[in-house]
Chain A
Amino acid sequence: MKNRYHFGAVLSAIVLLCCGALILGQKVNAAGEGSITGTVKLDGPAPHMKGIDMSKDPYCVKQHANSPAHLETWVVGSGGGVADAVLYLDGWSGDAKTETSVPVFDQKDCMYTPHVLALDTTQEFKVITSDQTAHNIHPLPNPMINVGWNQSQPPGAPPVTKAWKNPEVIPVQCNIHPWMHGWFVVVKGPYAVTDDSGHYTIKNVPPGSYTVKAWHEPDETQTQKVTVAAGGSATADFTFKAK
């Protein structure tokens, strides 16, 4: 009886060791990482973004006295570049946790900065508030995939640190300021978010063939196949159409 247990323990130790070796091996492989870059553009004129009336909270109104707030569904730069699109590698099977930085999701002037926060699974992020009015952060994941929460941050409250376990596109909103809407885009593996001119660079991509997926809110996606050479860079441009 006792021996059986010993046998089991040894066996699991061996299995663990092998797994460890495999994982380490991968890291070693990653030495010749390349990248994927490109631009995301909008086809046609930028859609009109409705203004936001924040009059219920005079603090918010004051913050926007000189820069009227409007919806951020389509943020289109000069030349048609689309901001806040998320690009990632479809079907990524490498490291579970590639990204280790701790990005910040700020509640500033009664809006979310950034409007879209992309994350690797289990990557930690910080929710902070720069406002002198209380917000509640209320992400709404599918309860079968991730565990949601709903928690307020009064002025001066310390950051809330969280992470998402599984890949999912999660809308987040503040109920106190119903216009406040943003997104957590949780993916597996390396990712990038387009800047104001629509450019992006996915770094740390090991050589190989990939399907690059581009996401734009609310639920539009496009894919492209690329091949990344060791230490090299591949390109994938996307064009969305506003509905």
Chain B
Amino acid sequence: MHDMSAHAVHHGAPTSFIRKHIFSLDHKVIGKQYYALALVAVIVGMVLSWLMRLHLGFANFAIPGLHLLSKNGAPGDIMTPEYYLQLMTMHGTIMVFFVLTTAPFAAFGNFFLPIQTGAEDMPFPHFNMMSFWVTFTGFVILMASFFVSDGPTLGGWTQYAPLSAVGAVSGPGQGTGVVLWAFSIAFFCVGQLFGSLNFITTTLDMRCKGMSLMRLPLSAWAWFITSIMGLTAFAVLMPAVILLILDHIAGTSFFVASNLVINDSLLPHSGGSTLLWQHLFWFFGHPEVYIAIIPGMGIVSHILITNMRRPMLSHRVLIYSMGALAVLSYMVYGHHMFVSGMNPISSLAFSFPTLIITIPSTIVVLIWLGSLYGSKLRINSASLFALGFISMFISGGISGFFLAQPSIDILLHATYFVVGHFHLVMAVAAIFGIFGGTYFWFPKMTGRMMNESLGQLHFWLTFVGAYCIFMPFHYLGIAGNVRRYQAFVDDYLIPLIPVHKFITVAALATGAVQLIFIYNLIYSRFWGAPAPDNPWQGTSLEWSTATPPPHNNFGDKMPVVYHDPYQYSVEGASSDFIMQTSPEPVHSADEEK
């Protein structure tokens, strides 16, 4: 084992284009590939959300050209009910899996985890390459489902059985569409399992001299914790989707009960359990939302520390809190199922850990706030997005107090309140983490600086826009507006339609603003100002190597680490930061000893 990994790590720099940029073993290239995948996915996902919003805000509005996307789904450019749900399902699936898991975790983690630990590469580069290409295949399969005869599945990203398990009788996309969805997710799981193994091994086995675990930056810790979660969560989802596939193609009945009648005919299934899918799915699904957000917490902490010119009040408390979130996230999954028909005593039992998980979340936020206190905050695109992340995380987290209580969940379950909650706390917050990480690390990844003015403009419009979109979702939910509805035909929902119109306008505008980011990304990649090695005066290892880093990350000399990761504003030091690799002694009482 040791021999193999040693051999793998010392792979030489590739020379051919294909080995360099496509089937690359280099974690940095793989990280960028993941980033590119996430970028394509987020654009698709965002366009889908525009279509959904247009349809919701302006019922039976003909969206010019929509029939080109699907003749059946949009006859005469008018979206059908099933097509709305199909787009919604694809939006959710793409966003959760191919954006929020790939970008903050797989993309940035791949690029920076080995560098921040002082490794030359991941221990299993071939697995790493496969991790990306298997994930990519999953994405292609998912996209392919747009083009099969009755379109992609309409079952929502949660794909509840038996709707997902009985086949085409239950609606368009529920045959081939579901099978493709399930295969896509299975591939995704395999890819992330490979990735997680690499992340864990890198963190545990590949650290350079002097790099104790506690000397790892918070971002590295976040990726490490996330990879452990990935290993356990995806390992549950994968068998679940395989069982789902079997229900489709092998005639099994894992998730389908007996005596179900659709379209006046008895289904040929018997003996399965409806709730089994929900248990399996959410045992993965709840950790998954922490997989989406914990890397963001790490990235944001890392960015903030650099821009506050001080370490966090406590390095350890943040690490322990993220660890506590990870552990607790497996114990709270039942809060998605309060009114699902599981034993009401279980609902109560799941509500307490859910309430308790607010404690580590609060600690994280308080540590951020307490560290801001008395800091020397620099404002730039990266730190703006990091601060925006905190604001969003607070707003989204607070609504968790409501949803954690089964009694209030009676009112709010499956309403737009939930949609507002998870978009703020998971979607927008995590996306802000991605944006922050991009502005922060782009120089290191590409060797060029991003345009700062465009970056700040992007922040302002996105920050205000995101609140305009997602805050009103909560009000809708309080008024009882059910989610996953393609139109609002109920008498009590009709008065709420103006709110939907407002949200639609806000969503279109905020979506358009993202073009600034994409322009900035592309422009800066080719024509941006050349980046110095350490543009933000950071201390961690990624800033002590060249920009962009050489093939084996550190050139001829492997780094040696002398300090905790964040030696900023150390009294008596020669400058306001001491790099981890700097042998300069730290005299003052180290905050983290």
Contact = CB atoms under 8 A, between A and B. Distances in A.
A136 B171 CA distance: 10
B76 A157 contact: yes
A167 B81 CA distance: 31
B518 to A, nearest CB: 33
A175 B75 contact: no
A154 B265 CA distance: 26
B79 interface: yes
Nearest to A176: B81
Interface in A98-138: 133-134, 136, 138
B263 A154 contact: no
A152 B80 contact: yes
Interface residues of A, number: 22
B81 A136 contact: yes
Nearest to B67: A158
B120 interface: no
A152 B60 contact: no
A153 interface: yes
B78 A154 contact: yes
Contacts of A154: 60, 78-81
Contact of A150 (B79, B172, B487): B172
8 contacts: A136-B80, A154-B79, A156-B76, A157-B80, A158-B76, A173-B264, A175-B171, A176-B81
B72 interface: yes
A150 B168 contact: yes
A59 to B, nearest CB: 8
Contacts of B168: 150
Contact of B75 (A149, A158, A171): A158
Nearest to A160: B75
A151 B76 CA distance: 13
A181 B329 CA distance: 48
B263 A140 contact: yes
Given A136-B81, A136-B82, A175-B263, A151 B60 contact: no
Given A150-B171, A155-B60, A160-B75, A138 B80 contact: no
Contacts, number: 51
Contacts of A140: 263, 265
Interface in B45-95: 60, 72, 75-76, 78-82
A134 B80 contact: yes
Given A140-B263, A149-B150, A175-B263, A156 B78 contact: yes
Interface in A167-217: 171, 173, 175-176
Chief secondary structure at chain B's binding surface: loop
Contacts of B82: 136, 150-152
A152 B150 CA distance: 12
A107 to B, nearest CB: 14
A178 to B, nearest CB: 9
Interface string B172-193: 1000000000000000000000
Given A156-B60, A173-B263, A175-B263, A151 B172 contact: yes
Contact of B263 (A57, A134, A138, A149): A138
B393 to A, nearest CB: 39
Nearest to B75: A157
A136 B79 CA distance: 13
Nearest to B168: A150
B59 to A, nearest CB: 9
A104 to B, nearest CB: 16
Contacts of B172: 150-151
Contacts of A171: 264
Contacts of B80: 134, 136, 151-154, 157
A95 to B, nearest CB: 30
A153 B263 contact: no
A175 B78 CA distance: 20
B81 to A, nearest CB: 5
Contacts of A136: 80-82
A154 B82 CA distance: 10
Contacts of B264: 171, 173
B126 to A, nearest CB: 44
| Closest A-B pairs by Cβ, 10 of them | A152-B80, A158-B76, A157-B75, A152-B81, A154-B78, A150-B172, A157-B78, A151-B72, A157-B76, A158-B75
Interface in B253-285: 263-265
A176 B81 CA distance: 10
Nearest to B74: A157
A180 to B, nearest CB: 12
A136 B263 CA distance: 13
Given A150-B150, A154-B60, A134 B76 contact: no
B150 A153 contact: no
Interface in B454-490: 487, 489
A115 B264 CA distance: 18
Q: Which of B168, B263, B264, B489 has the most CB of A within 10 A?
A: B263
Interface in A27-68: 57-58
Nearest to A132: B60
Contacts of B263: 138, 140, 173, 175
Contacts of B150: 149-151
A153 B150 CA distance: 14
A190 B585 CA distance: 99
